[in-house]
Structure 1
Amino acid sequence: MQRRRFLERAAGAATVAAALPISGCLGSVAGGQSERDYDVGMTATTFRPQEVTIAVGESVTWRNTSARTHTVTAYEDAIPEDADFFATGGYEDEATAREEWWSDRGGALENGDEFTHTFEIPGRYDYVCVPHEQGGMIGAVIVEG
């Protein structure tokens, strides 16, 4: 019985590993452009990288690269005053995003799912994965003007 359980888990791990992009290990290509087609990946309990810096008008794409379900939810009190709030699920405020996650897993990103947001106001934008906040899954986007 233990051997069967081991084989099932090993097969599951191989499936997850096969779904992860290997480009994160390859670094960047000429001109500094990343080979990945996303900016921030999600592991079991972290955003990778935890902080990204972009210019005004650019977008950030998050991709769930783990087997766990995640969210991307801005801390309303930790984004620039005139900035648009952002959250997976399209919620208009942090309280609603949190409530929807805890009541019905609203805003969930499953393995391979992506979320993109365009940043129009310079400043620091702190965000969180709601279900993994206690584990420290917090990130930041720095937007330079």
Structure 2
Amino acid sequence: MQRRTLLKVVGAAAVGLAGCSESGSTATETPTPTPTVGPSETLVEMTDSLKFVPETVEISVGDTVVWETVGSVAHSVTAYEDDLPAGADYFASGEFDSESAARQDYPVGSVGPDETYTHTFETAGEYPYFCIPHESGMVGTVVVE
């Protein structure tokens, strides 16, 4: 390996770059991965002001919601089990099978700073949900059409 090529490769590896071109220019650093929110994904932020933002989202059957904690306070995403559409799968961060299990085992399933929880909705209807420790004001709804 030529000295010039070796220096390019070693230099790129040392600073975490993707690689170097033959002209000597370097690629840009790869940013820290964040949730990809594409056409079939909707982002809901969980904030330090104890809110889901937006509080209500409208999506299509088969779409995914990505909840992300954007502050320093951990939250949960917990469906109100008795209010789910008939035939709908239960959902909660921590992948619990029921609302009572999610409540009982909290803080298991909490979504900490810069963490996410995702769920794909396969049945039309309204899905009310809440954050276990902040239930008095932190509630949201996913409307699936």
TM-score normalised per structure 2:
0.70
Distance 2:117 2:94 in 1: 9
1:43 equivalent in structure 2 = 47
Runs of 4+ in 1 over 4 A off after TM superposition: none
Deviation at residue 120 of structure 1 after TM alignment: 0.4
Which has the larger Rg?
2
2:115 equivalent in structure 1 = 113
Query: Residues 37-88 of structure 1: CA distance to partner in whole angstroms, max 9, x if unpaired?
Result: 8610011210000000000011100000111010000000111010000000
Structure 2, unaligned runs of 5 or more: 1-33
Distance 1:110 1:71 in 2: 9
Distance 1:140 1:66 in 2: 21
RMSD of equivalent CA atoms: 1.7
TM-score normalised per structure 1:
0.70
Structure 2 SS opposite 1:39:
strand
1:28 equivalent in structure 2 = none
State percent identity of aligned pairs.
Answer: 43
- Count of residue pairs brought into register by the alignment: 107
1:122 equivalent in structure 2 = 124
| Maintained 8 Å contact 1:38/1:63 | no
Highest RCO, 1 vs 2 (Cα 8 Å, sep ≥ 6): 1
Aligned partner letter, 1:40: V
